[in-house]
Amino acid sequence: MVAELAYLAALVVIGLGFVGIILALGILEVSKGKFIASLIISLVLIALGGYYYYVIGQYQKGVNSPNKLNILLKVSPSTETEFAPQIELPVKK
């Protein structure tokens, strides 16, 4: 279920990138500088969404640390989750 939500999130980011390209084409009628800036931002969104989609696929295949961007940025995601200690209540009979 988690992988499906991650795929959906990646597709939403890619979709926002395409909407940004369509809006950039509308801005082209008004200002060429703003068109170039919005086009670059939209292409970056599409690239990041595609990379995220690729990383999710690699995790599902079982590849160890497929996210090369984290290695490049020297970010190590913590996979260990700490839980609060559980208290057992006495049961009355």
Within its chain, how far is the Cα of 65 from the centroid? Answer: 16
In a domain, 50, yes or no: yes
Q: Which domain holds residue 66?
A: 2-72
What tokens appear for 2 in the block?
């988690």
In a domain, 18, yes or no: yes
Q: What is the pLDDT of residue 82?
A: 59
Q: What is the pLDDT of residue 34?
A: 93
Q: What is the pLDDT of residue 48?
A: 92
Residue 9 and residue 6: Cα distance in Å, rounded? 5
Q: What is the pLDDT of residue 50?
A: 93
Q: What is the pLDDT of residue 18?
A: 96
Selection from 17, 69, 11 nearest residue 43 by Cα: 17
Residues of the chain with pLDDT under 70: 64-71, 73-85
Output the CA angle 66-13-8, nearest 5 degrees: 75
In a domain, 9, yes or no: yes
Q: What is the mean pLDDT of the chain?
A: 83
Q: What is the pLDDT of residue 22?
A: 95
Compute CA distances 35 → 22, 25, 47, 51, whole Å.
Answer: 10, 7, 18, 24
